[in-house]
């Protein structure tokens, strides 16, 4: 029987160490980033915890749509390449990318704390999800095997559908923040998180060849769903749009476009310095969760109490990760 420090998930991530610098590269799937979202629901339906969490948070219908997406990688690359000020103009059609448009297109609720990858998570929030004998070894980046076994299948599915970076061997603070959301401990705004991820891709694509740019793009299904939805609103058929010459002619932005504030510049949002809003996940406290009567999340996390501004202030001094 596997011990707490050596689980069935260690087989896939055994080469990871705290530093990861001298670990030999193995030929398992962790060596290559697989960023395409799942095209079937088989793995999701095999995980009762993930099914319950995704349904409770109104994300299961999005997963169903992802399974039917016709991913077009060139469209995704061009969408990000031409994204500026929340808009991307492709083949004469203007598309808008905001948390609101992502929510409308995907059905993912546009509610919760506006959280992004550059923010930190206090260390005490890691404790319910990390094996007890690994807590003292935690660093900014840590091996997947530190995660408690009951959360490992859920975390893999969260990574495949919502963070989409394609790594399955190492975890960061944002992974913990996402699992906190899906286990109903602390709600975050997923459309905002995804929108900021897509905006950040612009910086990674600057001064790169088209082939190198493909390696910086992810959230393929989200981009396709947003484009398809907004094409429908404008009365444009998908096949008519995607067959235009724009998508068969190499698109490389000139330096002049960059200098004049073209699509390669990151669109920055100015966030108001307000007290964050914390929302409880007790059953029946929000209409969003009222339809489901049974929660399959582990008992140590389910039904978190309201975090008041006072308790938030008390926790601010704790060490962030």
DSSP 33-60: ---SPPSSSHHHHT-HHHHHHHHHTT-H
Confidence of residue 32 (pLDDT cuts 50, 70, 90): low
Q: pLDDT of 242-291, one tens digit each? A: 888 887 766 555 443 443 334 333 333 333 333 333 333 333 333 333 33
Residue 11 has pLDDT above 50, yes or no: no
pLDDT higher for 73 or 228?
228
DSSP 201-256: HHHHHTT--HHHHHTT---HHHHHHHHHHHHHHTT--HHHHHTSGGGTS-----HH
Helix axes 220-233, 190-205, angle to 10 degrees: 110
Q: pLDDT of 108-131, one tens digit each? A: 999 999 998 888 899 899 999 999
pTM of the model: 0.69
What mean pLDDT do residues 179-206 have? 92
Q: Rounded CA gap, 75 and 90, in Å? A: 9
Residue 110, pLDDT score:
96
Tell me which of 72-81, 145-154, 170-179, 289-298 is least confident.
289-298
What mean pLDDT do residues 68-73 have? 86
Confidence of residue 202 (pLDDT cuts 50, 70, 90): confident
pLDDT higher for 148 or 290?
148
Q: Average per-residue pLDDT in the chain?
A: 75
């Amino acid at each position: 029987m596997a011990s707490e420090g050596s689980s069935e998930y260690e087989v896939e991530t055994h080469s990871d160490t705290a530093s990861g610098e001298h670990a030999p590269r193995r030929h398992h799937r962790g060596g290559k980033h697989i960023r395409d979202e799942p095209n079937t629901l088989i793995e999701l339906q095999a995980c009762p915890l993930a099914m319950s969490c995704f349904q409770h948070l109104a994300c299961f219908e999005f997963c169903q749509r992802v399974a039917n997406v016709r991913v077009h990688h060139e469209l995704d690359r061009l969408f990000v390449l031409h994204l500026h000020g929340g808009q991307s103009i492709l083949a004469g059609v203007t598309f808008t990318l905001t948390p609101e448009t992502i929510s409308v297109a995907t059905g993912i609720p546009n509610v919760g704390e506006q959280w992004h990858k550059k923010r930190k998570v206090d260390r005490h929030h890691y404790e319910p999800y990390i094996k007890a004998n690994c807590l003292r070894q935690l660093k900014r980046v840590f091996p997947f095997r530190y995660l408690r076994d009951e959360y490992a299948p859920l975390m893999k599915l969260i990574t495949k559908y919502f963070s989409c970076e394609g790594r399955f061997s190492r975890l960061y603070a944002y992974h913990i923040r996402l699992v906190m959301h899906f286990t109903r401990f602390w709600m975050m705004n997923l459309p905002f998180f995804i929108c900021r991820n897509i905006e950040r891709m612009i910086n990674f694509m600057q001064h790169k060849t088209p082939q190198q740019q493909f390696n910086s793009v992810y959230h393929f299904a989200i981009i396709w769903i947003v484009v398809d939805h907004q094409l429908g609103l404008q009365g444009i058929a998908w096949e008519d749009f995607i067959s235009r010459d724009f998508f068969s002619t190499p698109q490389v932005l000139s330096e002049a476009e960059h200098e004049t504030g073209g699509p390669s510049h990151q669109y920055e949002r100015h966030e108001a310095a307000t007290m964050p809003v914390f929302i409880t996940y007790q059953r029946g406290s929000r209409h969003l969760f009222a339809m489901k009567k049974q929660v399959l999340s582990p008992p140590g996390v389910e039904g978190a109490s309201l975090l008041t501004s006072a308790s938030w202030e008390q926790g601010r001094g704790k060490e962030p990760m």
